[in-house]
Amino acid sequence: MKVIYILWLRQLKRYFRSKSRIIGALGQPLLFLFALGFGFGPVFEQAGEGNYLQFLVPGIIAMSILFTSMFNGIEIIWDRQFGFLKETLVAPVSRVNIMLGRTLGGATVAIFQGIIILAISILIGFRFVSPAGLPLALLFMFLIALLFTALGTAIASVLEDMHGFQLIMNFLVMPLFFLSGALFPIENLPAGVNALVQLNPLSYGVDGLRGSLIGLFQLGLLTNIAVLVSCGLVLVTIGAYLFSRIEV
């Protein structure tokens, strides 16, 4: 447990020391928030769907967490190239504990990014239904962050090229985001698109955040939690296995 705590703390120190990283990670979510929230808002209202900013904010929070979580894996490749990972792996501790510490640290960083987006959203007009939903929203932020940090770790564990990791991440991240219901309601979708949305684990995170913050569940609270927990456990297990086989 001590190793997990130390590595978790190390990830947080890295995050708070890099102001450029914090600001850079906010760029794309804020662009989507302002451009879509205020650009498509009138169209959304004319269609009788209500305030688009209210609908959009949970999806943008999930987007921020997704991007931060997945790209956390690049630190593994970075540390491997510069020899820092070797120093960690030769220590007389379990590699599983090392992976868990890094994953929890990366997930915590992603949650901070999500909280920052939520705070900015409140400043520009977003209103959640009840303060009682905030703890549940934080739970969904944690589940999303843990799941996708583990996925990023698993992918980074089998790659040695930083550019290759970025290409694979872009190939995965954008479809995961656009097919999660973050930008549009998921009712009455074509059968093929609906199937992809249902298979996408991020859909359940977006729906969970939206239900927690504005009271609009489309997939169901228990379903959302069950899918995220089960997928998270599977990916953490796979990530731990692949990380334990890293050769440095």
All residues at 6 or more sequence positions from 90 whose CB lies less than 8 Å from its CB, including other chains? none
Cα 89 from chain centroid? 26
Tally of helices (H runs) and strands (E runs) in the chain? 12, 0
Residues in the chain: 248
Sorted by where each begins, the domain ranges of the chain are 2-244
Residue 16 has pLDDT above 70, yes or no: no
Q: Which residue did the predictor score with more confidence, 143 or 43?
A: 143
Banded pLDDT at 97 (limits 50, 70, 90): confident
Q: Which pair of tokens denotes residue 14?
A: 């890295």
Residue of 137, 144, 138 lying closest to 210 (CA atoms) = 137
What pLDDT, in 10s, does the model give residues 173-229? Answer: 889 999 998 888 888 788 888 899 999 999 999 999 999 999 888 888 999 999 999
Phi, psi of 60 (to 5 degrees): -70, -35
For residues 170 and 176, the answer to whether their CB atoms sit within 8 Å is: no
Mean pLDDT of the chain: 81
What pLDDT, in 10s, does the model give residues 18-43? Answer: 655 666 667 788 888 887 777 776 76
Residue 243 has pLDDT above 60, yes or no: yes
- Distance (Å, whole) CA 227 – CA 147: 11
Q: What one-letter code names the amino acid at 157? A: S
Compute how many other C-beta atoms are within 10 angstroms of the C-beta atom of residue 39.
Answer: 11
